[in-house]
Amino acid sequence: MSTTTRRLAATALVALTATTSLAACGRSTSSADSAAHPKMTIMVGGIDKVIYLPAKLTEQLGYFKDSGVDVSLKDEPSGADAETMLLAGQVDAVVGFYDHSLTLQTKGKCVESVVQLAKVPGEAEVVSKDAKVTSTDDLKGKKLGVTSPGSSTDYLTQYLAKKAGISTDQYTTVAAGAGSEFISALQNHGIDAGMTTDPTIAVMEKQHLGTVLADMRTEEGTKKALGGLYPAASLYMDCDYVAKNPKTVQKVVDAFVKTLGWVSTHSAADIAAKMPSDYAGDDAALYTKAIGDSMGMFTADGVMPDGGPETVFDVLSTSNPDVIAHKDEIDLSKTYTTKFAEAAK
């Protein structure tokens, strides 16, 4: 079975799972706004990843409570699987990549980012020290790790490869996960290169397992790799939920925007000190470095950056088969809203 066939099969399985779950346990029709102290369940696509740090930090700082909303954070390492949970009505919102709002629109689903946490992916393509790769041109014929097929890391990998003139059937896509799973794949030659985030990148560099090939943790690196800012980490929800629960959504966005403002005025060490101790493992200094290397990705106000949605659309128009097939039908204005973040200011 070719890499492309495997990817399409995996995507179909995700869609089938979502459809089945929707039939079994659709979202409740009751309004969270009707409760004196509303509740919200948020699935995070890898809660210990630095790119999604604002979710746990908001909880740690007590800002959800201060805003008058009871938030339960759930962890799902893959953004694609977190998306499925949202579609199944098992969670109210997802902290994940904004690009899912575009891909879901091609399937007739409406989700929108209500607060934009990051203006760049916070990802990097890293290569094994044993792989003979010095540029993206060398990725042809290699085993490339992504979180899972259909994930944002998969889309970005496809884009970088195609930009180098490499089609998806000219490399092997490997579901390498994140964290220790990704590191193991790199160590054991399960992958030659892969797309990952901090603190995994920091661990890889410390252990001298490889180097960063394309760095999308900074604005400069992202513009070089993707041609513009690529808004990534966001809080997105089903459009119907947003319409029915504007007060609850505003409370949650207020909390996130307050956290983003806090991050913009504090050091990496300050941030690390607020996070759960087990996030740093046995190397607090390395965790602090990982935050420092990535914290420039975050917005200070939660507002979608100008031109960002267009860059995401351009990238997905060359890497995602659904977006390619329906690109003339996508309405970017329905994939995000700035009204809640602007009201929070």
Quickly list DSSP for 259-301: HHHHHHTS-HHHHHHHS-HHHHTT-HHHHHHHHHHHGGGB-SS
Are 86 and 135 found together in one domain? Answer: no
Are 61 and 169 found together in one domain? Answer: no
Are 205 and 268 found together in one domain? Answer: no
Are 140 and 190 found together in one domain? Answer: yes
Domain boundary among 226, 258, 277: 226
Evaluate if residue 312 carries a pLDDT over 80.
Answer: yes
Tell me what percent of the residues of the chain surpass a pLDDT of 90: 81
Give the count of beta carbons closer than 10 Å to the beta carbon of residue 16: 11
Least confident interval from 99-108, 121-130, 147-156, 164-173: 147-156
3-state secondary structure of 31: coil
pLDDT of residue 205: 95
Residue with tokens 């799973």: 181
> What rounded mean pLDDT belongs to the chain?
90
pLDDT confidence of 77, banded at 50, 70, 90? low
Distance CA 345, CA 335 (A): 21
pLDDT of residue 29: 44
Name the helix (H) or strand (E) containing 7.
Answer: helix 3-24
Q: Where are the beta strands (DSSP E) in 132-192?
A: 143-146, 172-175
Q: Are 141 and 168 in contact (CB under 8 A)?
A: no
At 253-303, the pLDDT tens digits run 999 999 999 999 999 999 999 999 999 988 999 999 999 999 999 999 999
Query: Both tokens of residue 340?
Result: 């809640």
For residues 18-52, b (16+ Cβ closer than 10 Å) or e, as one string? beebbeeeebeeeebeeeeebebebbbbbbbbbbb
pLDDT of residue 36: 80
At 202-258, the pLDDT tens digits run 999 999 999 999 999 999 999 999 999 999 999 999 999 999 999 999 999 999 999
Domain enclosing residue 212, as ranges? 123-226
Average pLDDT for 296-319: 96
At 321-335, the pLDDT tens digits run 999 999 999 999 999
Are 75 and 196 found together in one domain? Answer: no
Q: Are 231 and 123 in contact (CB under 8 A)?
A: no
Distance CA 41, CA 92 (A): 5
Give the C-alpha distances (Å, rounded to integers) separating 58 from 42, 253, 288, 314. Answer: 12, 11, 18, 32
The residues pairing with 167 across neighbouring beta strands, listed in sequence order, are: none
Give the count of beta carbons closer than 10 Å to the beta carbon of residue 113: 29
Q: Is the four-CA dihedral 213, 284, 265, 253 of positive or negative sign? A: positive
Tell me what percent of the residues of the chain surpass a pLDDT of 70: 90
Domain boundary among 194, 226, 258: 226
Are 253 and 214 found together in one domain? Answer: no
Are 68 and 159 found together in one domain? Answer: no
pLDDT of residue 112: 97
Distance CA 316, CA 87 (A): 21
Are 235 and 207 found together in one domain? Answer: no
Ramachandran region, residue 71 (left: φ > 0; alpha: ψ -120 to 50; beta: rest): beta
pLDDT of residue 34: 85
Average pLDDT for 310-319: 94
Number of domains into which the chain is organized: 2
Which CATH number characterizes residue 167's domain?
3.40.190.10
Task: Find the helix packing angle between 3-24 and 79-87, rounded to 10°.
Answer: 30
For residues 156-194, b (16+ Cβ closer than 10 Å) or e, as one string? bbbbbbbbeebebeebbbbbbbbbebbbebbeeebbbbb
Total-model pTM:
0.85
Are 307 and 330 found together in one domain? Answer: yes
Are 207 and 139 found together in one domain? Answer: yes
At 154-185, the pLDDT tens digits run 999 999 999 999 999 999 999 999 899 999 99
Are 114 and 238 found together in one domain? Answer: yes
pLDDT of residue 79: 62
Ramachandran region, residue 266 (left: φ > 0; alpha: ψ -120 to 50; beta: rest): beta
pLDDT of residue 9: 39
Query: Both tokens of residue 197?
Result: 């985030």
Are 116 and 130 found together in one domain? Answer: no
pLDDT of residue 25: 42
DSSP 72-113: EEEE-S-HHHHHHHHHTTS-SEEEEETHHHHHHHTTT--EEE
Domain boundary among 209, 226, 243: 226
